[in-house]
Amino acid sequence: MHANIYARPPAIGIYRLGRQLDDGLAALLGDLRYSGLLNETLIVVMGEFGRTVGALSAQAGRDHHLQQFALFAGGGGGTVIGSTDPTGGFVANPGWSRHREIRTEDVEATIHELWG
């Protein structure tokens, strides 16, 4: 979403793409919960980066941003780890013993730990 991030449907923008992701993820989580498999299934939704917050670029979009790039669901969890500043731009409290932001290798380690 480097450009026209807030374009309204039918244009491709955050509203259209976000809705597709939300609908698909909600259906998957609902099916797993209904079948009793949610506690033993880890869902990871992530990209290689997030997007900047605040003012839009000259192209009405956002640039690459290393924070806030992953979401975990299921896996017997139910814990929110860490918090951001009020704008969502930076880590305010990492919420874990390493006292730093979570990195890609931490996500990988979590997945491998849950695999056993």
Look at residues 40, 112, 50 and name the one whose alpha carbon lies nearest to residue 76.
Answer: 40
Confidence of residue 35 (pLDDT cuts 50, 70, 90): very high
Indicate whether 95 pLDDT > 80.
yes
Determine the average pLDDT of the residues in 39-53. Answer: 85
pLDDT in tens, 55-94: 788 888 888 887 767 788 888 877 888 888 888 888 899 8
Q: Which two tokens stand for residue 31?
A: 């099916």
pLDDT greater at residue 55 or residue 95: 95
Question: In the chain, what are the domain boundaries?
Answer: 14-115
Q: Which two tokens stand for residue 64?
A: 């690459």
Q: What is the pLDDT of residue 52?
A: 81
Query: Quick check: pTM over 0.85?
Result: no
